[in-house]
Structure 1
Amino acid sequence: MEVDYKKAEKNSKAISLLQNGMTSNEFDHFSSCTSAKEIWDGLELAYERTTIVKKYRIDLLIQKYELFTMEPNESLDSMSARFSSIIYELKNLGRKFESEDIARKFLRSLIKNGI
């Protein structure tokens, strides 16, 4: 009987700790869980998916970066904004670039189009 009480107490403490570290969205999603293990497994699955989606997003943006060229009849301002958007998104996802590499890539994109 005392062993069950200690297990329940530890479970309650663990649930409390997990819930204190959650966003309100996460709390709403996991508030019906009855064990810390259930919450942990759910969080692990949710963030694993997030990590996979992030990796795919980075791959897609890197492809856009590598294939980046000026569009026919595109203004320099429009091209620059499009390029900056790709770089900004990649930086937000944790991808680092040297300023020198960014400048070189942008200039190569201009040269390919005869500018």
Structure 2
Amino acid sequence: MANPLYIKVLKYGLFIPMVRVPVPTDGDVVIPRHFAPKDLPTYTELEKEKVSLDNSLQLILIESLDNVMYTNIINCESAKKIWENIEILCEGTEEVRSNQRKILVSQYEGFMAKPKEDINEVFERLNKLINDL
């Protein structure tokens, strides 16, 4: 069963355990809290599990790719970066997707049955257009 935290790893990136670093105060000056990454030996068991999620997810993603896709993500450092590259390779950038949506909406608005096309063929074309939208 897939770990439900995988979605968070894809959305927010690698979990990095942090520790609060004490900052000396300077009289009445309020210094905001400062956090720094923890050293590996100080990780709790839960933090170790969360950190390992990225590696597990990277393996899952890599094993599911073909050779062409694999060559495009080989240098990615995290599961989030792999996922972002896969999205771009499969769907294009946001600009490309926006242009594609505009084209599909235009095709939908001008949709008509072709001469000598039966109702099943019209339905199939319309259904494909709607699914693409």
TM-score interval, smaller chain: 0.3 to 0.5
Question: Comparing both structures, which one devotes a greater share of its residues to strand?
Answer: 2
Between Structure 1 and Structure 2, the one with more helix by share is 1
TM-score, length-scaled by structure 1: 0.43
